[in-house]
Structure 1
Amino acid sequence: MNMLNKPLRSLRDFRNDRRGAFAIGFVILSGFLFSISILGLEGSRYIAERARLSDAMEQAALALTAENNGEGAERNYTLSKAYFAAYMPREKAVLQPNVVVKYGVSPGNLSYVEYRVSGQTQQTSWFSSTFFPTFSQDMLVGGNGAARKFRSSIDVMFVVDFSGSMNEPFGTSGTKLSELKRIVLQLVRDLYQYDAGNKAGLVPFGWGAKEGSRCDFPFVPYYPMPVDILALNPTLQFQKNINVAATVAAIPNNVNSINIPLSAVSEGNCLKMSYSWKVPLTSDYARINQIQSMTASGGTLVSSGVLRGASALSVGTAPRKVLIIVSDGTDDPEKITLTQELMNAGMCNRIRQAISTSQSVGKIAFVGINYRPTANWQGCVGNKNFYLPSTVEQLEESLHRTVFEEVGHNILKDQ
């Protein structure tokens, strides 16, 4: 009997002593709590990663609507992956994104293009174990983004410097003018392909321009301009006779108040020795292609082209209008400040108003080829529409952006 008392007493003591029970419970519970902590930490990390991936895909969708490369273009995937990698540089892998292009018409009868981008990135878990519940060693985080850009027809007027300096070499094998011709023609082809309703036009300028057998100046003079005033180089007498306020007020009227025959001016004025002419807004590529045979000669007075270009663009009927000014030098001679005076009097705002429509604010862009202008074109057109390319590649990119860089807006994405 005594031999049984001792083990029985030990059992009674173990039953009455609860410290062991708490220890066992703590051991069991601590593993569960640790697992919950790990899941919470990694889970919040993956939620943050998914949010970053969604931001990347929304930005990628915006970029794709701006470029609008079309369904299946390889550029769609390389650009999307580049955005993913930039937003999420520490990921183990970026999988091939999925890009869907949709076209439609809004309730307001505006056509649009829509890009939807979805994708996944592979992540490595910080804590992964087979002993307690955690995330897998490799996790896929996915999401999507969407953007839409409304497509309406556009009128584009190229106001192009045809002064003699445009014949200078540019790039490896061409001149400023030859490279500009090539780029403009490619842009026009793309413009017509993009929408059959798009139109383009051309206004060449030097120190003034020409119309038939006379000089063409879009300025309002105080008094009749002397016929021989440009028989030699341009002088301040010409500038002093221009009524700047009246000239700005007349925008976008087609002013023809200065009557000087080409026979009365020197070779550097009015594009006298240049084989060039205006091409009004047209959807006929053959007419724009006439730029191929045009030649450059003479001096530079940018405002003479800008005002004439604004008049030619204002008669367009498209919902959106863009005036693109391309030049490679400042007005000459240096003492001529007529362009800046017109700017100071409100020329740029007046043009913008004249080419604005009920659907869009008129856009003016300035492209300065390999030079820094003395007139404040940056203030005139705004920082986003001001370009100073110094290479052929930069010129091509700048002109493409002036025409096609219309960024869309993000829309509701897939859940």
Structure 2
Amino acid sequence: MLTNTDIIRKFNRLTQFKKNEHGAILVSFIIIFPFFIALTFIIFEVSIFLQKKAKLSDAIEQATLALTVENDGIPNAAQQTKNRELVLSYANAYLPSEGFSDPIINIDDNTNYLGYNAAVTMTYPVKFLGRSPLTNAISNIQTTDNGEAIKNKTIKVSKPTDVVFVADYSGSMLQSFSDDVSIKNDERINALRSAFIILHDAIKNNSNVNTIGFIPFGSGTKRKVSENGENKEYCHLPFSPKIYKPNGDYLSENAEATEDAWTFLDVIGDHIDYKKTIMSITENVRTIDIPMHDIKHKEICLSGTNSYSLEREQFDYSIEKIIEMVPLGGTLISSGILSANNIFKETADNGHKKLMIILSDGMDTYNSTKLPNKGFFISKTLIDEGMCEMIIKNGIQMVFIAIAYSPEKNVNAPEYINWKQCVGEDNYYEAHNAHELELELQQAVNVSETSEVGRNTPKQ
């Protein structure tokens, strides 16, 4: 039973609490705290949304560029299905954990160009909003993005062009485009094969584009030649030696070099006369050719594979031979570049434009635990000595397509090469998935009157 004294005491305590500044602050904090938490969750959620929105925008831009490759006009039903799958493949590659609506794709057929517009809606579950009673009514977030690209209608090139492809066939080409197992992607070599099949069809229908060589390279190139009616194979290293050996016994003084890829590179690097090699770009100079039967290690000069150079008369654009070739071993990119230069040099001057297209997924072989090794910096040294400038001066346009890597991310690596500086910024491309590789390869060959296959347009 409450007495008057008890009631008065409780009333006095309440009055004191109201008058106490700390009590007032506590009440205010209790009232505001849920709103503060909700605001914090909203800020976090908005941050995630902006990141996903940016990735979606990038994906749709790349997808519309890919549509410019896949379509030459208004698509039929089968192509429309393929187009939708293509757009979704880019969205899933950039945002593998999210859900997407069926893309809406419009292709505008104008007089001089084709316009492409793709839109897709992304849906994903909230991460933070569900944790606050003030915002837990929201369970999913949706956002729509679109991209636009145009492609000038194809007109056959007016000037005849001779093309040599220099393709990286080192073992890393057997890897996927991405290390992320959640992203569906193909082996780089399979993407390259598919791109060559599509390119083959385009070149076959264009009499002004003439492919005169295909040079696969690893830690050197492999040549098949006929000598005195006999077929022979050589580990071809298109570098000028300090001392020329007609029998090709450059490894005779170091038996380990025939069986160990690291020792092989070191010995070859020691044999090279760099200044004479630069001169060989425009002059006839002896090169290093080692009989393939002297090579005991399968990763040296593609010796353990069926890959070899297709040169001039050997090359009738036999796409079947290219598809069957297998990558293996390390990377020595200058061996492919100088081999291609020699094809141009040995081809009679016909007034044609000369185009060398280089495709590679990495830098030259390097291993810090194997230092010192003179073979690790062969390409870098040749480029520093002026190899790129001399080839371009020789009337050859060089194009470099970086497959699944960005060289700029490795600028501090000892073996780093600035390919933009080597070939020119307008002749440098990067392909981070199969469709980009297909796009960049077609753009590099340039089977249209303009230099672009497709380009994005500003969003409305």
The TM-score normalised by the length of structure 1 is 0.58
1:249 aligns with 279
Q: Which moved more, 1:364-373 or 1:336-345?
A: 364-373
Q: Using a 3 Å threshold, how does the CA distance of structure 1 residues 261 and 231 change in structure 2: closer, same or farther? A: farther
| d(CA) in 2 for partners of 1:154, 1:259 | 29
| d(CA) in 2 for partners of 1:279, 1:320 | 20
| d(CA) in 1 for partners of 2:448, 2:278 | 29
- Conserved? CA contact 2:220–2:336, under 8 Å: yes
1:112 aligns with none
Partner amino acid for 1:375? I
Local SS of the residue matching 2:431: coil
Local SS of the residue matching 2:357: strand
User: How far has the Cα of 1:323 moved from its partner?
Assistant: 0.3
| d(CA) in 2 for partners of 1:97, 1:174 | 32
Q: 1:381 aligns with which of 414, 417, 423?
A: 423
Q: Using a 3 Å threshold, how does the CA distance of structure 1 residues 210 and 167 change in structure 2: closer, same or farther? A: same
1:163 aligns with 170
Q: 2:241 aligns with which of 217, 221, 224?
A: 221
Local SS of the residue matching 1:263: helix
Superposed CA offset, 1:29-77 (max 9, x none): xxxxxxxxxxxxxxxxxxxxxxxxxxxxxxxxxxxxx99x98xx449xx
User: How far has the Cα of 1:150 moved from its partner?
Assistant: 5.8
| d(CA) in 2 for partners of 1:197, 1:158 | 13
| d(CA) in 2 for partners of 1:306, 1:258 | 15
Q: Using a 3 Å threshold, how does the CA distance of structure 1 residues 197 and 159 change in structure 2: closer, same or farther? A: closer
2:292 aligns with 262
Q: Using a 3 Å threshold, how does the CA distance of structure 1 residues 173 and 255 change in structure 2: closer, same or farther? A: farther
| d(CA) in 2 for partners of 1:345, 1:176 | 31
The TM-score normalised by the length of structure 2 is 0.53
Q: Using a 3 Å threshold, how does the CA distance of structure 1 residues 170 and 200 change in structure 2: closer, same or farther? A: farther
- Conserved? CA contact 2:156–2:206, under 8 Å: no
Partner amino acid for 1:300? T
| d(CA) in 1 for partners of 2:113, 2:442 | 24
- Structure 2: gaps spanning 5 or more residues: 1-67, 76-107, 115-152, 179-183, 224-231, 368-372, 408-415, 452-460
Q: Using a 3 Å threshold, how does the CA distance of structure 1 residues 255 and 288 change in structure 2: closer, same or farther? A: farther
- Structure 1: gaps spanning 5 or more residues: 1-65, 76-95, 100-114, 118-145, 357-361, 410-415
User: How far has the Cα of 1:387 moved from its partner?
Assistant: 1.5
Trace 1:5-154 onto structure 2 (pairs within 5 A): 73-74=73-74, 99=111, 151-154=158-161
| d(CA) in 1 for partners of 2:447, 2:209 | 18
2:268 aligns with 238
Q: Using a 3 Å threshold, how does the CA distance of structure 1 residues 147 and 333 change in structure 2: closer, same or farther? A: closer
1:175 aligns with 187
Q: Using a 3 Å threshold, how does the CA distance of structure 1 residues 165 and 150 change in structure 2: closer, same or farther? A: closer
User: How far has the Cα of 1:156 moved from its partner?
Assistant: 1.2
User: How far has the Cα of 1:388 moved from its partner?
Assistant: 2.0
Q: Using a 3 Å threshold, how does the CA distance of structure 1 residues 376 and 293 change in structure 2: closer, same or farther? A: same
Could you say what the CA RMSD is over the residues aligned between the two structures, in angstroms?
Answer: 3.4
Local SS of the residue matching 2:340: helix
Q: Using a 3 Å threshold, how does the CA distance of structure 1 residues 268 and 116 change in structure 2: closer, same or farther? A: closer
User: How far has the Cα of 1:214 moved from its partner?
Assistant: 2.6
Q: 2:384 aligns with which of 344, 360, 363?
A: 344
Moved over 6 A (4+): 146-149
Partner amino acid for 2:278? V
1:274 aligns with 305
| d(CA) in 2 for partners of 1:193, 1:155 | 15
Local SS of the residue matching 2:342: helix
User: How far has the Cα of 1:310 moved from its partner?
Assistant: 1.2
Q: Using a 3 Å threshold, how does the CA distance of structure 1 residues 241 and 399 change in structure 2: closer, same or farther? A: same
- Conserved? CA contact 1:188–1:285, under 8 Å: no
Trace 1:307-322 onto structure 2 (pairs within 5 A): 307-314=338-345, 315=347, 317=350, 319-322=352-355
- Conserved? CA contact 1:149–1:408, under 8 Å: no
Q: Using a 3 Å threshold, how does the CA distance of structure 1 residues 272 and 261 change in structure 2: closer, same or farther? A: same
Local SS of the residue matching 1:326: strand
Local SS of the residue matching 1:240: helix
User: How far has the Cα of 1:174 moved from its partner?
Assistant: 3.2
Local SS of the residue matching 1:198: strand
Partner amino acid for 1:180? L
Q: 1:210 aligns with which of 218, 222, 227?
A: 222
Local SS of the residue matching 2:261: coil
Q: Using a 3 Å threshold, how does the CA distance of structure 1 residues 164 and 149 change in structure 2: closer, same or farther? A: closer
The number of equivalent residue pairs is 274
Partner amino acid for 1:226? L
1:191 aligns with 203
Superposed CA offset, 1:235-255 (max 9, x none): 434213211110010115575
2:30 aligns with none
Q: Using a 3 Å threshold, how does the CA distance of structure 1 residues 283 and 153 change in structure 2: closer, same or farther? A: farther
- Conserved? CA contact 1:201–1:288, under 8 Å: no
Local SS of the residue matching 2:290: coil
Partner amino acid for 1:365? V
| d(CA) in 2 for partners of 1:173, 1:390 | 10
2:102 aligns with none
Partner amino acid for 1:278? S
Q: Which moved more, 1:148-157 or 1:160-169?
A: 148-157
Percent sequence identity is 28
Local SS of the residue matching 1:309: helix
Q: Using a 3 Å threshold, how does the CA distance of structure 1 residues 148 and 297 change in structure 2: closer, same or farther? A: closer
Local SS of the residue matching 1:271: coil
| d(CA) in 2 for partners of 1:318, 1:174 | 40
| d(CA) in 2 for partners of 1:369, 1:197 | 24
Local SS of the residue matching 2:390: helix
